[in-house]
Chain A
Amino acid sequence: MSITELGRTGGGPAPSGGVDLAVRAEGLVKTFGEHRAVDGIDLAVRPGEIFGVLGPNGAGKTTTLRMLATLLKIDAGRAEIFGVDVAGNPHVIRQLVGVTGQYASVDENLTARENLWLFSRLQGIAPPRARRIAAELLSQFGLEDAANKPIAHFSGGMRRRLDLAASLITRPPLIFLDEPTTGLDPRTRGQMWDTIRGLVTDGCTVLLTTQYLDEADQLADRVAVIDHGRKVAEGTPDELKTAVGNSTLQVRLADPGETPTAAEVVRRVLGSDPILSPEQGRLNVALDQADLAADVLIALRTAGVSISSVSVAKPSLDEVFLALTGHETDEDRGTGTKENR
């Protein structure tokens, strides 16, 4: 397994002088029987950033998060949150971290309002304020209409929203989101992304796990890629893409009928085959260097092929993952069951 350690340059906000890291984890290990679910993970999350932990099912993302949230015992290594030792002061950690799990952790037997009321009161918020917070969160998360309905009738998206709302009651400075958008439809997903960005504007730090590469790309200032309980890479999404070392030229032709001609031109210039979507008149051309894009475009102009749009993009994180770990992200290894609970 290749370990690609990227520098901590660029991307996210620089650590402000003297302020502790939001999360500092060194050599975290969690073993379930013979299986090392987390096998020596280091993390450094800066205050005010969105840090993404990216990896396939069973990679150890959830287990890592649960250890940091005091929900699982840390078998080896150590972790600090805002300078507070996680293993030594679980009660303090629980006041600093809001946890939103992979499965909505709200009470099925209560209504949305009752859930928020329960979690507020449990955390020592006085009744009038608890009522006000519940009303505020319900309206902010678009749950007012369903406020007094039992959760059993809620959609997946509504549950997730309520779950996140419940994590924000005390406005904790650090928020853990375990796969916040898994199973959500694209629209709800977009809303969730906006909400997560909003948290950071508010001064929070967010540590999220995801198996969606575009989610990490969209949200995260920095990303750690995890596979088989180990960190295989870390950096900004851009750095990770650059690490793979090439770019993709995307060309859309004015006339889709000219696709074969265009493909022939690309083959002549680069000596490799482009990926074609003839019905849309689109060619995807993998480039070793971004400059080669110009050569291709000039050759197309010379051949009289007219172009409607052009873009040079960095490769997707999917391609990055493939390059880093040597296997596809959706590969099933059947170890995902244990870490989920």
Chain B
Amino acid sequence: MSTMIAPVRERVRAADRVAAARRRVSLSETLGQTLMMAWRALKKMLRNPEQFFDVALQPILFTAMFAFIFGGAIAGDVASYLPAMIPGILAQTVLTTCMATGTQLREDMEKGVFDRFKSLPIARIAPLAGPMVADLLRYTIAATLTFTMGLIMGYRPEGGPGGVLAAILLAIFTGWSLAWVFTWVGTIARSAQAVQGISMMILFPLTFLSNAFVPVETLPGWLAAFVRVNPVSHLVTAARDLANRAVVSGEVAWTIAACLIVMAIFAPLSVRSYKRHM
């Protein structure tokens, strides 16, 4: 250790460094840094496989549970409930998965390594966006498992593989963009537990006050009004159209538009509060 500085090395010259320093981060640098952060998050994920429990268990458990509990009451029997329910579970699973994004970010931010991230000349958004890119893997697993479970239970999507794939991609995109909401919660909350609590409060109304599990027509007027504007309802309807009929309906456009709006609001908010908290 004592010999760490080899005498042949060029001396550090401060003035040269000041002159060479870049004033700001370019877009391509930001992209590269985000991908590096995604690499880190992926490594972390693979080394802590328990992070996959929620994405693996929930689709399996909920699909079976909801189908047998609600199937008879809502659709007459389990098999005829599945086409309506599987896209609903898909939306719910993806939302739960993106909630974990916020909790894990908060936990991560409390560790020393975030101090170093802050002290490095890198884009402030990279440490936030990186884990979200890695989370695409989790969304994919969750969405695929939901459909697999449906298939096992007798769901035969009439939209064919293309329709199902499109529904999955839409769900992943939605989950990914809504995750910015939870990332923002992650940057403002005091602790990981608080993030969990706040996220639950956002998540439950969003998933259950939607058309994911019951037809909107059965709801009282005031509730139906909320359900109709809930972005999750649009995702569910869009996913049903895609998986069951292979139709790209206006709901798809609605969903994508809602996602883009959410991102446009919450990504800058997250970066701002992340910056302020340092």
A residues contacting B by CB (< 8 A) are 19, 22, 47, 69-73, 82-84, 89, 91-92, 94-97, 99, 101, 103-110, 114, 118-119, 121-124, 140-142, 150, 161, 166, 171-174, 191-192, 194-195, 198-199, 201-205
Interface string of B1-12 (1 = CB under 8 A from A): 111110001011
**Contact of A172 with B1 in the complex, beta carbons under 8 Å:** no
> Closest CB-CB distance, B138 to chain A, in whole Å?
16
Question: What 12 new A-B contacts, CB under 8 Å, besides A119-B120, A194-B1?
Answer: A19-B15, A71-B278, A82-B17, A99-B116, A103-B115, A105-B113, A109-B48, A110-B40, A142-B1, A173-B13, A173-B14, A198-B2
> Closest CB-CB distance, B190 to chain A, in whole Å?
12
State which of A124, A174, A201, A203 has its C-beta within 8 Å of the C-beta of B29: A124
List the B residue with the shortest CB-CB distance to A139.
B4
Contacts of B32 in A (CB 8 A): 121, 124
> Closest CB-CB distance, B215 to chain A, in whole Å?
45
**Contact of B14 with A96 in the complex, beta carbons under 8 Å:** yes
B residues contacting A by CB (< 8 A) are 1-5, 9, 11-15, 17-18, 21-25, 29, 32-33, 36-37, 39-40, 43-44, 47-48, 111-122, 126, 278
Q: With A109-B44, A109-B48, A118-B39 known to touch, is A94 a contact of B116 (CB < 8 Å)?
A: no
List the A residue with the shortest CB-CB distance to B24.
A91
Contacts of A83 in B (CB 8 A): 18
Q: Which 5 A-B pairs have the closest CB atoms?
A: A203-B11, A203-B12, A173-B14, A194-B2, A140-B4
State which of A140, A171, A191 has its C-beta within 8 Å of the C-beta of B12: A171
**Contact of A150 with B116 in the complex, beta carbons under 8 Å:** no
> Closest CB-CB distance, A142 to chain B, in whole Å?
5
State which of B18, B37, B47, B112 has its C-beta within 8 Å of the C-beta of A150: B47
List the A residue with the shortest CB-CB distance to B33.
A122
- The CA-CA distance from A47 to B33 in the complex, in Å, is 31
- The CA-CA distance from A141 to B23 in the complex, in Å, is 32
Q: With A107-B113, A118-B36 known to touch, is A97 a contact of B120 (CB < 8 Å)?
A: no
**Contact of B12 with A202 in the complex, beta carbons under 8 Å:** yes
**Contact of A123 with B120 in the complex, beta carbons under 8 Å:** yes
State which of A89, A97, A171, A204 has its C-beta within 8 Å of the C-beta of B23: A89
Contacts of A110 in B (CB 8 A): 40, 43-44
- The CA-CA distance from A39 to B11 in the complex, in Å, is 36
